[in-house]
Amino acid sequence: MKRLVLLLSSALILACNSPEPDSTTRNTLTVSATMGGTPDPGFRRVLKPRNFEFPADHAAHPEYATEWWYFTGNLQSMHGERFGYQLTLFRIGLRPGAAAEDSTWRSHQLYMGHLALSDIEQQQHLSTERFSRAAAGLAGTQANPLRIWLGPWSISGSSGQTFPLTLSASSDTFSIDLHLRASHKPLVLQGDHGLSQKSAAPGNASYYYSYTRLPTSGKIRFQDRDIEVEGNSWFDREWSSSALASDQAGWDWFSLQLDNGQDLMFYQMRGKDGQPQEYSQGVLVDQQGRAQKLSLNNTRLKAVDSWTSPEGTIYPIGWQMQIPQHAIDINIEAAIADQEMLHTVPYWEGAVTVSGSHDGVGYLELSGYSRN
């Protein structure tokens, strides 16, 4: 369900002057604190399904408070080494409406990016964070040709087409330069024709669509190695002005690519009591791209393993998932225990391995877990 956005806070505005904050001086925020308030009434709310238009809807929607472009993937080198990657760009509306045009530095939009790379064989996970205002060409979006950028990090496409997409982002110690091709599977409109409700209150929802299996190739750099890779990526796209309900703490989100060609997304909204809530939902996409809805009524999730971060946060990184009507009974295990994204809003996000009735790979996101 992707980060309904972890970030409506002045702490992000203060952080935007530094492209890669020093983790030793980091000010961290909780999901419930940043998302628990009422959005500015000047932003539009997600209240009913809409007609999507492309390529326009791949670009920004500044009339809404937050949005994100989210990519994850499991890749292999020519020698069979496995890697996982994440690239997410966020737009955060600081206030509704357009900024005054008296300065090229004035903007109501802040962009944040997260980049991560996991070397499964070496059990190493690296990540970094970047900020910028959408001013003076430092960050922004355009629809045709498609381009979303945050400094040197970018998501770019061809004129008039969504695919192929090129993802380019780097830090001092790792980088990605990946090319994502169109799949035979069409995009999936999540929830009710693209409206994904997160709690009972009207407007606590997002517009949400996914490309669940995009053939991917290119190059990564990990430490001092340049490695040619190929595999599959998952692309999630959401925008909203919503906040968590007062009784919600966060979510557990799964995106799985099964070896039989099926793709599975499920997010479990958690209450502050730790229990799953009614608006947990997902989708099972078959080999031809046909989508079937999943809910708490037909999906059973149980945490079976956990990892405690050095800062004391306990994350459930091992799960059992059962969907009896689809003969799915799988175990989902973290490929590396420590894939914590320890940035402005800490969360756990990383590559997972699927076994049981079906084999496969995927990604898991765990948000709203607090330090003990």
| pLDDT per position as a tens digit, 188-246 | 999 999 999 988 888 889 999 999 999 999 999 998 899 999 999 999 999 999 767 88
Residues with Cβ within 8 Å of residue 199, at least 6 apart in sequence: 244, 245, 248, 269, 277, 279
Maximum Cα–Cα distance for the chain, whole Å?
61
pLDDT at residue 36 tops 90: no
Highest CATH level, class, for 10-46+53-367? mainly beta
Q: What is the pLDDT of residues 89-114, one digit of tens each?
A: 999 999 988 887 877 888 999 999 99
pLDDT at residue 32 tops 60: no
Distance (Å, whole) CA 211 – CA 234: 6
Domain ranges for the chain, please list them. Answer: 10-46+53-367
What would the two tokens of residue 276 be? 């799953």
How high is the pLDDT of residue 9?
38
Query: Is the peptide bond between 164 and the residue preceding it cis, with omega within 30 degrees of 0?
Result: yes
Query: For residue 133, which of 168, 171, 103 has the smallest C-alpha distance?
Result: 103
pLDDT at residue 4 tops 70: no
Distance (Å, whole) CA 64 – CA 232: 30
Query: For residue 198, which of 249, 236, 235 has the smallest C-alpha distance?
Result: 249
Provide the pLDDT confidence category of residue 31 given band limits of 50, 70 and 90. Answer: very low
Provide the pLDDT confidence category of residue 37 given band limits of 50, 70 and 90. Answer: low
In this prediction, residues 347-366 reach a mean pLDDT of 98
Are 131 and 94 in contact by the 8 Å Cβ rule? The answer is no
Percentage of the residues of the chain whose pLDDT score is greater than 90: 75
CB burial of residue 347 (10 Å; 0-12, 13-18, 19+) = buried
